[in-house]
Amino acid sequence: MTTATAADYGWIRSATSPFRYALESGYTLVLVRGVSPAQLLALAEAEGRGVCAGLDELSEQHEAFLCESDGWDACVLAGVCTVPGDEGEWTLALALGGDLGSSGFMETLSAGTRVVSHASNGGKPMEFFHWYENGELRTGFEWPRVRTGSTTDELNSLICQVGLGLTDEDISRADRKAAVFALTERLTGVRVTPELLTSAAYRTAEVFEEPVEEWTGIVIDITDAHGVRTYVEVRNDEL
């Protein structure tokens, strides 16, 4: 296992970082062990667009993609490549400007293997981390103190070691994005560097985002400090 910490990923914030465009536009970065780029794109039912050299060219393709779709489309542009990690080769998939980490896709992708992903919606305080193993979400979070999955506490030690922490005070002081990069490396053995991102040959493809289910109402379920519960269901036609 590597000993990566947030300090190893401070480069993502530099003015010359090749990852700055992804941070600004939003992204999903997925690492999956033992699944080839072609297999990942097939599972995602993606429509291939060709190959590009390096993250700068992938970012340029994303800009062109946005122009083609007038800034909005049901698809996201993704680039995939093979990278070395623990126990052999991994596939790195980077989707710009959208989500490549829907729960259904991640469960399918992680069948018989491990998948780790993190994402940001671009410039807003919404950042996500997910670790899947054998088709099951093991640990996921937006704010590390509130975790979901079948083993919500298994990564607690690593979360602290990479510099993220589990208290609100620790989390507020941390570079959350750099720490999540380090946590991902701890689970995959894949060191993401500026050189890796800029030298990779990415297979590019359009991937359909998972459609949002139509909502029928909301549920308000609150228990106050005195143990008094308020439970209200409101249909959308009543709002």
| Domain assignments of the chain as residue spans, ordered by start | 6-214
DSSP H helical segments within 189-237, as ranges? Answer: 194-199
Give phi and psi for 95, each to the nearest 5: -100, 130
pLDDT of residue 211: 45
Query: What burial class does residue 14 get, using C-beta atoms within 10 Å of its C-beta: 0-12 exposed, 13-18 middle, 19+ buried?
Result: exposed
What pLDDT sits at residue 232?
A: 73
Kindly indicate the confidence band of residue 102, based on its pLDDT and cuts at 50, 70 and 90: confident
pLDDT of residue 212: 40
| Residue range 42-65: mean pLDDT, rounded | 93
Comparing 29 with 214, the larger pLDDT belongs to 29
Indicate the helix (H) or strand (E) that contains 171.
helix 168-173
Q: Per-residue pLDDT for 177 more than 80?
A: yes
**pLDDT band at 218, cuts 50/70/90?**
low
147-148 sheet: strands from edge to edge:
47-53, 201-208, 75-85, 88-96, 27-33, 114-120, 127-133, 136-141, 147-148
pLDDT at position 235 is 64
Does the pLDDT at position 72 exceed 60? no
The overall average pLDDT reported for the chain is: 89
Q: Is the pLDDT of residue 161 over 60?
A: yes
Query: Band of the pLDDT at 66, cuts 50, 70, 90?
Result: confident
What pTM value is reported for the model? Answer: 0.85
> What would the mean pLDDT of 176-201 be, rounded to a whole number?
97
pLDDT-wise least confident of 39-43, 154-158, 168-172: 168-172
